[in-house]
Amino acid sequence: MKYINKDDESQFTLGIDYDGVITRRGSSGLNEEKWIKREHNIFWRKILNFVSIVYNAIFPINEEIIEVCKEVRDIEGHIVIISSHTLTTSNYKESVAARNRVRARLRRENIPFDKIVFVAGNKVDACKEENIDLMIEDNVDKVKALRCADIDTLAKITNKNNFLLEYDPDAINCLTEALPVIHEIIAKKQLIHIASERIEQSSKNNGLTLRKTKSLCENFPSLITEQIFQCEPNYAFELDTTEGMVIKLVPNNKDIK
């Protein structure tokens, strides 16, 4: 499945956390503010740098992330890693080493990505700045913050947060569970583009848009109402927005109980 075009509005961008999503061990529940303050102490920086070295040497990656990233690349999407890995948000020499360590590991593990952003805090601003369509995150507090900011977010279940995410409808055990959601969001973006195209060119409809629409309907029939595909071109003008032509089947992002 390919994009209709590659403009900013139709481009799909996946956001991925590093600790606990790309890697198998997360840090949900960690008092991040306390540890960031400790980075200013040279003694703690040495310890944290050692912890980062051990972490990246011992804890394996989630192998499913490679499949997910490759599929996003195959559909011409973008992949942005947004990480708060220890030390990476400061500017000490140990911080530079930690950032380089993460980048080197990503290359060594053959994980495709377009950009990596190191941030401290809830990641909301970073997701907005990078135009993230779907974020995969394991830290429960950050998941809540992202969802409160209306950023579609899947919570990755780990052995550190499983009891908190037991009843979360948008939590996933395996990263490949994100693939149907990714395709649904892409289908929605494509359909919005098609609807916009029909509004702009309704008087010049030559069947090309309708052919694309039928193909999309065959791939994702549950996303599209019959009325749209049986209507006259001018029907689009009767809708308040192109959003009205889409049934939203993306994560409902209910608050975690």
Instruction: Classify each residue of 68-79 as buried b or exposed e, where b means 16 or more C-beta atoms within 10 Å of its C-beta.
Output: bbebbeeeebbb
Name the DSSP letter for residue 201. T
Query: Could you tell me the fold of the domain covering 13-173?
Result: Rossmann fold (3.40.50)
**Which of these ranges, 42-46, 161-165, 167-171, 211-215, has the smallest mean pLDDT?**
211-215
Q: Are 160 and 28 in contact (CB under 8 A)?
A: yes
Residue 206: alpha-carbon gap to chain centroid: 36
Report the alpha-carbon distance of residue 60 to residue 65 in Å, rounded: 12
Mean pLDDT of the chain: 77
**Which of these ranges, 10-19, 59-68, 174-183, 232-241, has the smallest mean pLDDT?**
232-241
Q: What is the pLDDT of residues 210-228, one digit of tens each?
A: 444 455 555 555 544 544 4
**Which of these ranges, 68-72, 198-202, 237-241, has the smallest mean pLDDT?**
237-241
DSSP one-letter string for 152-171: -EEEEP-TTTTTTSTT-TTE
Q: Which pTM does this prediction carry? A: 0.74
Asked whether residue 64 carries a pLDDT value surpassing 60, the answer given is: yes
Residue 28 pLDDT? 54
Domain with CATH 3.40.50.1000 in the chain: 13-173
Residue 34 pLDDT? 75
Split at pLDDT 50, 70, 90, the class of 240 is very low
Among 116, 128, 112, 57, residue whose Cα is nearest residue 83 = 116
Mapping DSSP onto H, E and C, the string for 14-80 reads: EEECHHHHHECCCCCCCCHHHHHHHCCCHHHHHHHHHHHHHHHHHCCECCHHHHHHHHHHHCCCEEE
Q: What share of the chain is helix, strand, coil (3-state, %, to 5)?
A: 50, 10, 40
Residue 2 pLDDT? 42
Q: What is the pLDDT of residues 138-152, one digit of tens each?
A: 988 899 999 999 999
